[in-house]
C-alpha cells in the first residue's frame, strides 16, 4: 500500500498539461490547451486540457478527469499503477507499507504481470553489470557493438544467465509466483517427459526489455550470442500476454516520445539495434516496428505524437520492399509519409555507428522523399519502364495506394504529381482511383450485412456519377426528364434566388441563407452538375454572378453577352410556378419565417430530390446495361451490388418525396 503522504505529494506535484502532454500533442487555445483525443478516433481536436482547473475533458466522447484518472484511462492501469507512474515522473519517492507476499498476491493480474516483468528487467540488468558471466559475455558484446554504458542503461539492456532457472528461482524467492512468471511469458511451463519443473524462457542471451508508452516493461527480446549453432534461434521474444500485444507496441516509443513530439516527426526503423544506435548517435525521435508491416494500432500510437513519419529502412531490395509495405496502413490513417533509403551496404544500425550526427541528419534531410515520388522514381529507373504492360500495371498499383488516402486535398495533390511523373492524364488516374474506392466500398459493404438507410445513402454518395452529356433516360416517366427538373431548378433560382430560407441539417444549428446559396451547397455536396448543356452554362453564369455580387445577380444576367443565356433568362421569367403537391401532407410543423417561405423551401427540396433521383436512375440504367455485356463474374457481382445500393438510395429519396414511380 502506498502511504497517504506519498499520494498527497504526488497530487500536488502533478500538472495536468505535463501529464497529458507526454501522450497527446497539445497546442494552446486561449487559457486552455487542445489536442487530438487519445480515447476516441478523431481527426480534428476536441480534447481540452485546463491547467487552471487541473482537468481534461473531451467534447467528442465525454471522457474527463484529473491527472491520475488520465493515466489510468490511458494506460488502462490501476489507481496504484497510475500513482507510481506519476511519482516516477515527478521524482517522488514512493513510501509504502511493507509489501508482504500476501500483498503481492492481492495485486490484480495486470499489475502483477507488470511487477514481475519489472523485476525480470532489473534481474537481467544486474546480471549484465554485476555477474561474471554477464560482464564477460553480455556487456563485452554490447561494448564491442559500440554501445556506451549510458546507452545500455537508457534502454535497460540486460543478460539472462546460462542457468535455466536463474530467474525463476530468484523471483519465487522474492515472493512472485511461478504462475505469474509463466503468464508474463518469462517462464516456460513444465515439459512432458522431462522433470516437471518449469524453466526460464530466456537463458544465455542479451536482453532487450520492451517498454510501453509510459515506460513500463511489458516484454523482452533476447538475442543469442552463439552465432555458430543453427539449432538455437537468433532471437527469442516474449509471447502475447495479458500485458503485451505485439501489434500494439513500438520498440523505443518510451525513449522517443518526447523527441518525436518536439521534432514533430517520427523515424521508423526495423530492429532494436537500429533504434539504439540512432539514439546513441543523437537521433532520438526513432522507433522500430519490429516486423515488416505496421498495424493500425501502431500507426495510431505514432499519430498521438505527430503526423509525419519518415521510414528509414535498409538500402537493399528487401529493405525497400519492407518500406513500401509499411506505407499502406499509414496512408490509410492519414499520415504524411516520407521514405529514405540508406546506401545498399548499410542498415540504420551500421549507418548510425559509422556517421556523425550531422551527417545522419543531412543524409535524411536530403534523401527523404514522399512515398509516392519514391515509388515512381524507383519505377522510372527500371530499364523496361516504358513497356506498356509494365507501366499499366504500375499505374494500377499507384492508384491502389492513392485510393487509401482519406483526405481529398492531399489526394488531389498526389494525383496531380503522379500523373505528371508518369505522363498519364490526371482524369484517367483519378478515375482509376475512384474505381478502386468504389470497389473497396462495395467489398466492405458485402462483408457487412444488409446496409442500414444511412449506409445506403453513403453508398449512393460514393457512387455519384460523373456528369454525363447524354439525353434523358428513356424509361423515366414522360412528364419528368432530367432537363425538366433542371429547368425547374433554374426557374426557382431566377424567381426566388434571393429569398431567405431556413436550412436545417441534422446535428447542426439551423441557418438562414439565400435560396440560391442553398442550391449551390446542395449540388456541390454531391458534386452534381446540370447536364443539359444550356442549363449547365446558365447555372454556372448565375453562380459566377452570385460570387461577384449576390445583390445584383439578375442585373448581371440581363447584361449577359450570351444570346442563348439571355433568351433563357427571359423565358424562365414567363413560366408559372409549378410547386409539387407532396409538401402539404408532409408539412407538420412550420418553423420558418413564414408559411410562404416554408412552401418555397419544401418545393425546392422536391426539385433537388428529383434531380438526384434522375441521376440515380440513370446510373442504374448504365449499370444494368453494363451487366448485360459483362463477362467477368467478379465484375458482375460488383455491378449487382451497385444496383442494389442505388435502389436503396432511390427508395430513400422517393420516401422523402412521398412518391413512388417505377
- Alpha carbon dihedral 296, 302, 303, 308, in 10-degree steps, equals -120
Could you say which DSSP state residue 471 is in?
Answer: P
Tell me whether residue 40 or residue 130 sits nearer to Zn ion (CB atom): 40
CA separation for the pair 620, 644 (Å, rounded): 9
Cβ-based nearer residue to Zn ion, 36 or 488: 36
| In the complex, least distance from residue 46 CB atom to Zn ion, rounded to whole angstroms | 6
Give 59 or 235: the residue with its C-beta nearer to Zn ion. Answer: 59
Q: How far is the CB of 47 from Zn ion (least distance, A)?
A: 6
State the cell numbers at 337: 509519409
Smallest distance from the beta carbon of 42 to Zn ion, in angstroms?
A: 7
Question: Judged by CB under 5 A, how many residues of this single chain contact Zn ion?
Answer: 6
Q: Count H helices, E strands: the chain?
A: 30, 18
Listing DSSP states for 131-143 in one string gives SHHIIIIIIHHHH
Nearest-approach distance from CB 41 to Zn ion, in angstroms: 9
Identify which range of 39-47, 211-219, 581-589, 591-599 contacts Zn ion by CB under 5 A: 39-47
Q: Residue 35's beta-bridge partner residues? A: 26, 47
Q: Which of 40, 76, 396, 471 touches Zn ion by CB under 5 A?
A: 40
Q: Which long-range contacts (CB under 8 A, 24 or more apart) does 508-517 make?
A: 510/591, 514/550, 515/600, 515/601, 515/604, 516/542, 516/546, 516/550, 516/553, 517/546, 517/550
Cα-to-chain-centroid distance, residue 332: 6
When binding is defined by CB under 5 A, the residue of 33, 37, 77, 186 that contacts Zn ion is: 37
Which lies closer to Zn ion via its Cβ, residue 58 or residue 166? 58
Residue window 53-92: x/- pattern of binding to Zn ion, with contact defined by CB under 5 A: -----x-xx-------------------------------
CA pseudo-torsion sign 616, 621, 627, 630: negative
Residue with cell 514533430: 264
Give kind and range of the element (H or E) at residue 309: strand 308-313
Q: Which of 18, 21, 32, 39 binds Zn ion (CB under 5 A)?
A: 39
Question: How far is it, in rounded angstroms, from Cα 571 to Cα 573?
Answer: 5
Q: Measured from the CB of residue 302, what is the shortest distance to Zn ion in angstroms?
A: 18
Continuous H helices in 145-290: 149-154, 166-173, 178-183, 253-263, 272-281
Interface region with Zn ion, contact rule CB under 5 A, candidates 1-9, 37-45, 64-72, 446-454 = 37-45
Q: Find the shortest distance in angstroms from Cβ 105 to Zn ion.
A: 36
In the complex with Zn ion, the residue whose CB is nearer, 58 or 493, is 58
Q: Which stretch binds Zn ion (CB under 5 A): 29-37, 531-539, 577-585, 611-619?
A: 29-37
CB of residue 61 to Zn ion, shortest distance in Å? 3
How would you class 566 by CB atoms within 10 Å of its CB: exposed for 0-12, middle for 13-18, buried for 19 or more?
Answer: middle
Nearest approach, Cβ of residue 111 and Zn ion (Å): 26
Give 60 or 328: the residue with its C-beta nearer to Zn ion. Answer: 60
Residue 42 or residue 455: which is nearer to Zn ion going by CB?
Answer: 42
Residue numbers of the site for Zn ion (CB under 5 A)? 37, 39-40, 58, 60-61
Amino acid at each position: 500500500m502506498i502511504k497517504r503522504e506519498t499520494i498527497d505529494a504526488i497530487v500536488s506535484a502533478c500538472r495536468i498539461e505535463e501529464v497529458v502532454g507526454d501522450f497527446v500533442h497539445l497546442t494552446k487555445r486561449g487559457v486552455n490547451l487542445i489536442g487530438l483525443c487519445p480515447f476516441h478516433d478523431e481527426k480534428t481536436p476536441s480534447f481540452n486540457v485546463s491547467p487552471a482547473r487541473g482537468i481534461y475533458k473531451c467534447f467528442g466522447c465525454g471522457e474527463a478527469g484529473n491527472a491520475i484518472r488520465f493515466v489510468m484511462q490511458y494506460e488502462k492501469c490501476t489507481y496504484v499503477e497510475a500513482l507510481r507512474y506519476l511519482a516516477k515522473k515527478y521524482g517522488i519517492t514512493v513510501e509504502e507499507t511493507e509489501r508482504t507476499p500476501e500483498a503481492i498476491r492481492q495485486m490484480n493480474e495486470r499489475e502483477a504481470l507488470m511487477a514481475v516483468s519489472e523485476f525480470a528487467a532489473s534481474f537481467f540488468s544486474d546480471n549484465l553489470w554485476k555477474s561474471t558471466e554477464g560482464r564477460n559475455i553480455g556487456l563485452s558484446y554490447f561494448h564491442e557493438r559500440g554501445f556506451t554504458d549510458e546507452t545500455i542503461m537508457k534502454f535497460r539492456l540486460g543478460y539472462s544467465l546460462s542457468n535455466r532457472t536463474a530467474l525463476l528461482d530468484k523471483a519465487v524467492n522474492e515472493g512472485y509466483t511461478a504462475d505469474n512468471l509463466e503468464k508474463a511469458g518469462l517462464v516456460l511451463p513444465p515439459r512432458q517427459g522431462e522433470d516437471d519443473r518449469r524453466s526460464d524462457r530466456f537463458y544465455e542471451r542479451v536482453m532487450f526489455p520492451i517498454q510501453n508508452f509510459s515506460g513500463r516493461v511489458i516484454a523482452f527480446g533476447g538475442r543469442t550470442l552463439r552465432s555458430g549453432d543453427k539449432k538455437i534461434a537468433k532471437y527469442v521474444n516474449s509471447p502475447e500476454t495479458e500485458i503485451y500485444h505485439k501489434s500494439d507496441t513500438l520498440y523505443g516509443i518510451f525513449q522517443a516520445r518526447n523527441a518525436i513530439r518536439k521534432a514533430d516527426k517520427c523515424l521508423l526503423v526495423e530492429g532494436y539495434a537500429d533504434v539504439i544506435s540512432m539514439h546513441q548517435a543523437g537521433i532520438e525521435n526513432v522507433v522500430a516496428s519490429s516486423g515488416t508491416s505496421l498495424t493500425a494500432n501502431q500507426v495510431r500510437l505514432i499519430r498521438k505524437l505527430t503526423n509525419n513519419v519518415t521510414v528509414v529502412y535498409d538500402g537493399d531490395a528487401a529493405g525497400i520492399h519492407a518500406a513500401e509495405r509499411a506505407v499502406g496502413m499509414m496512408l490509410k490513417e492519414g499520415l504524411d509519409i516520407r521514405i529514405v533509403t540508406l546506401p545498399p551496404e548499410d542498415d540504420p544500425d551500421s549507418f548510425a555507428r559509422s556517421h556523425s550526427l550531422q551527417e545522419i541528419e543531412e543524409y535524411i534531410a536530403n534523401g527523404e522523399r514522399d512515398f509516392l515520388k519514391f515509388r515512381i522514381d524507383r519505377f522510372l529507373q527500371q530499364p523496361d519502364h516504358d513497356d506498356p504492360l509494365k507501366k499499366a500495371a504500375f499505374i494500377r498499383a499507384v492508384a491502389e495506394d492513392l485510393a487509401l488516402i482519406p483526405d481529398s486535398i492531399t489526394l488531389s495533390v498526389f494525383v496531380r504529381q503522379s500523373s505528371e511523373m508518369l505522363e498519364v492524364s490526371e482524369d484517367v488516374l483519378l478515375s482509376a482511383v475512384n474505381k478502386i474506392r468504389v470497389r473497396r466500398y462495395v467489398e466492405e459493404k458485402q462483408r457487412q450485412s444488409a446496409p442500414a438507410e444511412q449506409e445506403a445513402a453513403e453508398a449512393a454518395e460514393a457512387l455519384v456519377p460523373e456528369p454525363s452529356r447524354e439525353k434523358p433516360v428513356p424509361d423515366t416517366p414522360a412528364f419528368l426528364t432530367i432537363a425538366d427538373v433542371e429547368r425547374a431548378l433554374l426557374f426557382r433560382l431566377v424567381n426566388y434566388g434571393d429569398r431567405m430560407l431556413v436550412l436545417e441539417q441534422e446535428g447542426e444549428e439551423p441557418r438562414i441563407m439565400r435560396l440560391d446559396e442553398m442550391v449551390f451547397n446542395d449540388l456541390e455536396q454531391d458534386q452534381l452538375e446540370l447536364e443539359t448543356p444550356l442549363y449547365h452554362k446558365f447555372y454556372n453564369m448565375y453562380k459566377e454572378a452570385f460570387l461577384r455580387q449576390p445583390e445584383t445577380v439578375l442585373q448581371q444576367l440581363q447584361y449577359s453577352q450570351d444570346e442563348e443565356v439571355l433568351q433563357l433568362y427571359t423565358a424562365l421569367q414567363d413560366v408559372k410556378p409549378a410547386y409539387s403537391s407532396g409538401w402539404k401532407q408532409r408539412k407538420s410543423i412550420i418553423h420558418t419565417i413564414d408559411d410562404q417561405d416554408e412552401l418555397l423551401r419544401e418545393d425546392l427540396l422536391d426539385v433537388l430530390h428529383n434531380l438526384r433521383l434522375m441521376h440515380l436512375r440513370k446510373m442504374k440504367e448504365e449499370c444494368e446495361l453494363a451487366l448485360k455485356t459483362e463477362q467477368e463474374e467478379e465484375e458482375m457481382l460488383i455491378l449487382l451490388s451497385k444496383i442494389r445500393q442505388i435502389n436503396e438510395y432511390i427508395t430513400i429519396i422517393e420516401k422523402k418525396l412521398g412518391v413512388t414511380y417505377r
